[in-house]
Structure 1
Amino acid sequence: MTLAPTLYDFQVALSHVDRSIDQPQLVIKLARHPSETMQRAWLRVLAFCWLWEERLTFSKGLSEPEAPDIECRDYTGLVTRWVRVGKADPLKVQRAVDQNPHAKVVVMFESAQRLEAFLVEAREAKATRVVKAELAAVDADLLRSLSQFDSRRIKLSLTFVGDHAYVECEGQSFDGPLTRATP
């Protein structure tokens, strides 16, 4: 018997200053796979909010290893954004870049150290086209702090200014930088 995913309801007041986004009532429904940590679930939520646009959706993720974790399609069904969160294989990211020429490929890591390790792996594997993907990492301390919140309904306020995230969740405030890879 397979275990069913746990459903989470994130009620987010989202502000992305640099992109002029103000979504006071963004509702995010997240299905957390039984093998997924709460830290990875939060990483998906942060990536979803950081990249938010209409038609952005969570895809099959852990249930389908070749599928992105988050994707966006235009009205014709063409993939316009392909997103992987957490540990990523450089060759699979390169394949995503090659197979989705009209999409912006993004990988969001759980720490700046994991981002650096990915870049080393990519160089060793000679996966040179990963530089076409946008690579970023969430502050590990911020992610660790947020992963303490593990209730089925979570209400938060999230603001992105530059490459910095500010989060208010259940009366507590957290913040941390987003680190981007430099080609």
Structure 2
Amino acid sequence: MALKATIHKAHLQISDMDRHVYGEHNLVIARHPSETDERMMIRVLAYALYVPADDMRGRLEFSKGLSDVDEPELWQLDLTGDVVHWIDLGQPDERRIMKAHGRAERVTVISYASSTPVWWSNLEGKLIRAPKLDVWQIPAEQSQALAALAERSMQLQISIQDGSIYVSTANASVEIHPQALRRAEAR
């Protein structure tokens, strides 16, 4: 018998002073049986970092993720079904990144493992033809501290200012400093 996804609920209060995006969001997160708390919380973090200020170009949504290899972890689709923003987590290979780059207006990869420098050094030179690509690293100790905040029902306050992210609950808080490994070319 196949294992079923575990449902988590998160209420996010987002104050993103860098992008001037503020709001409350209720998320229902289907956690794949093989997904760790760390990966799930990085998905929640990615949502907070990239949720658009309005729905004019579509909403940011969790996709089937680990259950469908042809979809990212999160994506923003416009009303015609075109991919506005493709967000992958972990350490995807060059083929996956270039496929996403061909389908989306913008592609973001967020890596959070301690092996990120090795992965990126092997991949960086192969992505010269990807001007729409952003690659970020969340230091492993910070992503693990974020994972410690995971619960079945979460109330998270997320503040973003000057590139730093502060995630807090009633009992704990984590400070995260994403590191840009690659920035998309200005449009």
Question: Normalising by the residue count of structure 2, what TM-score does the alignment of the two structures yield?
Answer: 0.87
The match for 2:3 is 3
1:119 aligned to 2:123? no
Deviation of 1:91 after TM superposition, in Å, equals 2.1
CA pair 3-76 structure 1, distance change in 2 beyond 3 A: same
CA pair 117-154 structure 1, distance change in 2 beyond 3 A: same
Alignment map for 1:85-164 (pairs within 5 Å): 85-100=89-104, 103-111=105-113, 114=116, 116-123=117-124, 126-130=126-130, 132-164=132-164
The match for 2:70 is 66
| Structure with a larger share of its residues in helix | 1
Residue-by-residue CA offset, 1:16-73 (whole Å, 9 max, x unaligned): 10111111x2111111000001100011110111011241000010011121110001
Alignment map for 1:67-82 (pairs within 5 Å): 67-82=71-86
Residues in 2 aligned to 1:28 and 1:121: alpha-carbon distance in whole angstroms = 35
Residues in 2 aligned to 1:127 and 1:137: alpha-carbon distance in whole angstroms = 16
Q: Aligned-pair RMSD on alpha carbons?
A: 1.8
CA pair 119-39 structure 1, distance change in 2 beyond 3 A: same
Q: Which runs of 5+ in 2 are unaligned?
A: none
Q: Which runs of 5+ in 1 are unaligned?
A: none
Q: Percent identity?
A: 26
SS at match of 2:92: coil
The one-letter code sitting in structure 2 at the alignment partner of 1:96 is: A
Question: Normalising by the residue count of structure 1, what TM-score does the alignment of the two structures yield?
Answer: 0.89
1:37 aligned to 2:41? no
Contact 2:134–2:182 (8 Å) recurs in 1: no
